[in-house]
Amino acid sequence: MKLGILINEGPYNHQASDSAYQFTKAALEKGHEIFRVFFYNDGVNNATRYSIPPQDDRNITQQWTELAEKHDLDLVVCVAAAQRRGIIDEGEQERNGKDGNNIAPGFRISGLGQLIEAGIQADRLVTFGD
């Protein structure tokens, strides 16, 4: 089955991203295709490479980066939601005159159309949120 994943809550504060990660990993292991993972609302905060969780805890962003590398996942962060919350890539940094960027490897910033497209193209769109 072709699946789209939507994550609407930030890391650590909420289990949504953890559950989505476990679900995505399990789906891939069962041979399903992940069309796209889309990050919206506070979910965009999953995409910062600047988080430093305690060493005895999981690193949620790094888990996504590694899973994306292993399975060539498309991790997409909503640009409007990301701009509000200070999640920035190099392009946004230049466009908005910011002094840095913080997006983690494996993630890309794009528009909400990518979410709608996931809804259209995937057999199921599975939401993880509140």
Partner 1 sequence: MSDIKKFLYLNRKAPYGTIYALESLEVVLIGAAFEQDVSLAFVDDGVYQLVKGQDTSEIGMKNFSPTYNALGDYDVNKLYVEKESLEARGLTEDDLMPLTYEDEDDDWAEKPSIRVVSSAELADIMDEQDVVLAF
Q: Tell me the closest approach of the beta carbon of residue 19 to partner 1, in angstroms.
A: 15
Binding to partner 1 by residue 83, rule CB under 8 A?
no
Residues 8-37 that bind partner 1 (CB under 8 A): 8
| 3-class SS of residue 39 | strand
Which token pair is 121?
Answer: 């193209």
Angle at the Cα of 116 (from 88 to 64), degrees rounded to 5?
Answer: 45
Q: Tell me the closest approach of the beta carbon of residue 120 to partner 1, in angstroms.
A: 6
> DSSP code of 56?
T
Residue of 3, 81, 87, 109 that binds partner 1 (CB under 8 A) = 81
Task: Give catalytic status of residue 78 as yes or no.
Answer: yes
Which token pair is 50?
Answer: 């600047």
Binding to partner 1 by residue 115, rule CB under 8 A?
yes
